[in-house]
C-alpha cells in the first residue's frame, strides 16, 4: 500500500489540475491512496474524487490550513471534515481574504525596487486557484523575466523578512484544530519542524495540541532530516499520536524531491487516522 497524505493542485499553488494530480498519483507514482490538501480551500475535492473513481484509487479529502501559534506560522492538515461546516467555512474565508488583501502591499513593495507586477499579472498565474499565494507572485516575476524560477523569489523578496514580505491573517492553531474536529474531521500538524515552526512546536506544545484534539504529526517530510524524524516519531509515540508521511507535491512548482510518493504513510497509521 502506497499512501501519500499531502499534495497541492492548481486550486492553490500546485501546478497540476486536481484530475491530473490524481491521474499522476495512480499512473506515475503508483499510489493506492492520495490526499488532496490544497492551502485553505476544498474547491478541488469534487474533480479529484471523480478522477479517483475513474482510475480506481482512494482519495482522502483534505486541506492545509495556514495557522499561527505563538507568533509563528504553522501549517495544519485537515482530513475528511464537513466542507460546509459554517464556522470552519467562515474562518477559511478570513484566511483566503487575508491572502488576497495583502497583494497590493506586496506589489507596492516590489515596485519600490523596480519590479513592476500588476494584480492582473498575478491573476494570470493563479488562474483556477481559490487560494492565491506567494508562489503565484513568484510565477508572475518569472513570466516578466525578473527571475529565472519560483524559488528565487523566496530568496530575499517574498520569504519571511524579505524585501517584499507582507504578513497576512492566519487562523489561531488551537481554533483551527477545534473547527476541524467540530466538523467531524481529523487534524495533523504538517512539517512541524520546518523553518519557524520548529521554534514553538516543543514537546510541551504537542501535549497541549493533543489536549485540543490533534490526531497526528507529519513526521516523514522532506523538510525534516533523519534526526528530526527520529525525535518527532518518539514524541508521537509518547503522546499516542498518529505518524504520517507525505510528499507535499506541488507539481512543477517545487523541486522534484517533492515528487508524488516521495514520503509515504504506513497503512496502519492511516487506519488509525481514518478508521
Ligand atoms: P503562502 O501560501 O503565500 O504563504 O506561500 C507559501 C508557499 O510558498 C508554501 O506553501 C510553498 O508552497 C511555497 N514556498 C515557500 N518557500 C518556497 C521556496 N523557497 N521555493 C518555492 N516555493 C516556496
Ligand atoms: Zn504550497
Ligand atoms: Fe505547508
Ligand atoms: Fe503543503
pLDDT in tens, 200-238: 999 999 999 999 999 999 999 999 999 999 999 999 999
> Distance between CA atoms of 183 and 169, rounded to whole angstroms?
21
| Closest residue by CA, ligand 1 atom 15 | 154
For the segment 50-62, the average pLDDT, to the nearest whole number, is 98
CATH of domain 103-158: 1.10.150.650
133 lines ligand 1 (CB under 6 A): yes
Per-residue pLDDT, 55: 98
100 — pLDDT class (breaks 50, 70, 90): very high
| Closest residue by CA, ligand 1 atom 14 | 135
The yes-or-no answer to whether 3-82+176-273 and 103-158 have a common fold is: no
Per-residue pLDDT, 196: 87
150 lines ligand 1 (CB under 6 A): yes
Per-residue pLDDT, 23: 98
Residue 8 has pLDDT above 90, yes or no: yes
Q: What is residue 59's three-state secondary structure? A: strand
For the segment 97-103, the average pLDDT, to the nearest whole number, is 97
Annotate 26-56 with b (16+ C-beta within 10 A) or e (fewer): beebebbbbbbbbbbbbbbbebbbebbeeee
Instruction: Name the percent of the chain lying above pLDDT 70.
Output: 100
Annotated domain spans of the chain: 3-82+176-273, 103-158
Per-residue pLDDT, 122: 98
> Distance between CA atoms of 21 and 18, rounded to whole angstroms?
5
Annotate 214-251 with b (16+ C-beta within 10 A) or e (fewer): bbbbbbbbbbbeeebbeebeebbeebebbbbbbbbbbb
**What are the pLDDT digits (tens) for 157-214?**
999 999 999 999 999 999 999 999 999 999 999 999 998 899 999 999 999 999 999 9
* Dist. CA 77 → ligand 3 center (Å): 9
Per-residue pLDDT, 19: 98
* Dist. CA 275 → ligand 1 center (Å): 32
* Dist. CA 135 → ligand 1 center (Å): 6
Per-residue pLDDT, 84: 98
Answer whether CATH 3.40.50.620 is correct for domain 3-82+176-273: no
Sign of CA dihedral 193, 196, 197, 202: positive
20 — pLDDT class (breaks 50, 70, 90): very high
**What are the pLDDT digits (tens) for 103-138?**
999 999 999 999 999 999 999 999 999 999 999 999
Indicate which ligand has the atom closest to the C-alpha of 135: 1
Per-residue pLDDT, 3: 99
| Closest residue by CA, ligand 1 atom 18 | 151
Strand partners, 171: 67
**What are the pLDDT digits (tens) for 67-89?**
999 999 999 999 999 999 999 99
pTM: 0.98
| Closest residue by CA, ligand 1 atom 11 | 135
Amino acid at each position: 500500500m502506497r499512501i501519500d497524505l499531502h499534495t497541492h493542485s492548481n486550486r492553490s499553488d500546485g501546478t497540476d489540475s486536481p484530475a491530473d494530480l490524481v491521474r499522476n498519483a495512480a499512473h506515475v507514482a503508483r499510489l493506492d491512496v492520495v490526499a488532496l490538501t490544497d492551502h485553505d480551500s476544498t474547491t478541488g475535492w469534487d474533480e479529484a474524487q471523480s478522477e479517483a473513481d475513474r482510475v480506481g484509487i482512494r482519495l482522502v479529502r483534505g486541506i492545509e490550513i495556514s495557522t499561527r501559534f505563538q507568533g509563528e506560522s504553522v501549517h495544519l492538515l485537515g482530513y475528511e471534515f464537513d466542507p460546509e461546516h459554517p464556522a470552519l467555512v467562515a474562518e477559511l474565508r478570513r484566511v483566503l481574504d487575508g491572502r488576497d488583501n495583502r497583494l497590493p502591499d506586496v506589489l507596492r513593495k516590489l515596485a519600490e525596487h523596480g519590479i513592476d507586477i500588476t494584480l492582473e499579472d498575478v491573476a494570470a498565474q493563479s488562474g483556477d486557484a481559490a487560494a492565491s499565494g506567494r508562489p503565484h507572485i513568484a510565477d508572475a516575476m518569472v513570466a516578466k523575466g525578473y527571475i529565472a524560477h519560483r524559488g528565487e523569489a523566496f530568496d530575499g523578496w517574498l520569504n519571511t523578512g524579505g524585501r517584499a514580505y507582507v504578513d497576512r491573517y492566519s487562523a489561531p492553531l488551537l481554533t483551527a484544530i477545534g473547527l476541524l474536529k467540530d466538523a467531524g474531521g481529523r487534524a495533523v500538524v504538517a512539517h512541524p519542524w520546518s523553518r519557524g515552526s520548529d521554534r514553538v512546536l516543543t514537546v510541551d506544545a504537542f501535549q497541549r495540541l493533543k489536549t485540543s484534539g490533534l490526531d497526528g504529526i507529519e513526521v516523514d517530510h522532506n523538510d525534516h532530516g533523519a534526526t528530526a524524524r527520529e525525535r518527532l516519531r518518539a514524541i508521537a509515540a509518547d503522546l499516542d499520536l498518529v505518524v504520517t508521511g507525505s510528499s507535499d507535491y506541488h507539481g512543477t512548482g517545487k523541486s522534484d524531491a517533492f515528487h508524488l510518493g516521495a514520503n509515504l504513510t504506513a497503512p496502519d497509521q492511516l487506519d488509525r487516522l481514518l478508521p
